[in-house]
Amino acid sequence: MFSRTTISAVAGQALRPRRNPLLSPRFAALQRSFLSTETRQAIDKAVATAPVVLFMKGTPETPQCGFSRASIQILGLQGVDPQKFTAFNVLEDEELRSGIKEYSDWPTIPQLYVDKEFVGGTDIMMSMHQDGSLAKLLEDKEVLVAAEGSDASATSS
């Protein structure tokens, strides 16, 4: 039979959480290596196609998830110039869908890039929208629709 000490020692080991090898830094480095050079170059090119780039599920006209819809609405509320905006539907390309997550080191879609810099996902966009920092960023990057002059609004009344 087992002595009480031995049972406690065995029970203590069983209750201790085991380290998940999938969370190790070594596995993370291996996981990052899945992004091919071709996919990385394609994403680099996509990010550079316009000053404001959104990787989303669906299209701006027909978003395929609530987060993508919310992201488009936020950009619309901010007044992003459609001539300075483009979107990529990650549902059309599985390599893009998985690659963009590794490229940005961000686990969710949609993802917003402004002037080739990763901004964040919908939660970050929402927070920045609410605190005014997104408006400032977009204004600083000159990607908003030009405001009509005060003379135009005065003559229309």
Is 50 exceeded by the pLDDT of residue 144? yes
With bands split at pLDDT 50, 70 and 90, how would you rate the model's confidence at 150? very low
Residue spans of the domains in the chain: they are 24-145
Q: What pLDDT does residue 34 have? A: 76
Q: Beta strands of 47-90 (E only): which ranges? A: 52-56, 85-89
Q: What pLDDT does residue 17 have? A: 53
Cα 130 to Cα 135: distance, rounded to the nearest angstrom: 9
Digit-coded pLDDT (tens) for 89-103: 999 999 999 999 999
Confidence (pTM):
0.73
Cα 100 to Cα 37: distance, rounded to the nearest angstrom: 13
β-bridge partners, 80: 144
Average pLDDT over residues 42-66: 96
Report the topology of domain 24-145. Glutaredoxin (3.40.30)
Is 60 exceeded by the pLDDT of residue 6? no
Q: What pLDDT does residue 147 have? A: 75
C-alpha count within 13 angstroms, C-beta hemisphere, residue 72: 20
Is 60 exceeded by the pLDDT of residue 16? no
Contact 42, 96 (CB under 8 A): yes
Is 70 exceeded by the pLDDT of residue 77? yes
Of 132 and 156, the one with more pLDDT: 132
Average pLDDT over residues 1-29: 50
Tokens of 110: 């949609």
Average pLDDT over residues 121-134: 96
Average pLDDT over residues 44-72: 97
CA-closest candidate to residue 67, choices 59, 56, 77: 56
